[in-house]
A and B are shown apart, each in its own frame.
Chain A
């Protein structure tokens, strides 16, 4: 069964870049028709879709974040990454990675990692 695990700094300073990695185990990130996705959730609030990447490198981003987001994939390490630039306190949230079907559900999620933006 596929498992996903987020990692990265828990504290980022305002105006800097948030960088997270999602390690995939239990299967190759290159196999199957899946999109590898990032979602975030501010404390006590709902879920926000950030964007996704296919193993070909094709990406889709939420227009609300598009100017600041980059998602990349490293098939040799079986992982994908999120970079969010020029962060502010509003970017403080739990960040989840997930595996999604091309036009479907998000069947598998990581446990999430809290990122706080503060000086």
Chain B
């Protein structure tokens, strides 16, 4: 099974700051990497698909990059509503797996 390791596990940031979350895969997964945002007591919502494609309706401040084993989710000009836990997810092989999550706290 492919293990996805996110860093950091937790980050406290101020509004308007730029945030970078990384996801490293235990083996190459091409571009089969997706990012989700989960707010408290809500289901996860797709932000970025196939490493860098924005999902419909997602604000332009969210972007993704990477391929192979190293991926990045970037949030430009952070807003208070971005407080959430972010997960990466691979669809390269079975079983599908998720990263452990990165919790963003807004100061």
Please list the residues of chain A having a beta carbon within 8 angstroms of any beta carbon in chain B: 37, 46-49, 51-52, 60-64, 96, 100-101, 103-107, 109-112
Are A105 and B100 in contact (CB-based, < 8 A)?
no
Q: B95 — which chain A residues lie within 8 A by C-beta?
A: 49, 51, 60-64
Given the interface pairs A46-B100, A49-B97, the reply to whether A107 lies near B55 with Cβ below 8 Å is: yes
In the bound assembly, the distance between CA atoms of A82 and B29 in angstroms comes to 28
User: In the complex, given contacts A101-B91, A109-B45, what are 16 additional A-B residue pairs having Cβ atoms less than 8 angstroms apart?
Assistant: A46-B98, A47-B87, A48-B98, A49-B96, A51-B95, A60-B94, A63-B95, A64-B95, A96-B44, A104-B34, A104-B50, A105-B89, A106-B34, A107-B46, A107-B49, A110-B43
Contacts of A111 in B (CB 8 A): 42-43
Main secondary structure of the interface of B (DSSP, over half): loop
From A62, A96, A105, A110, name the one whose CB has the most chain B CB atoms within 10 angstroms.
A105
Chain B contact patch, size range: 20 to 34
Q: Which of B42, B43, B55, B91 contacts A103 (CB 8 A)?
A: B91
- Whether A109 lies near B91 (C-beta < 8 A) is no
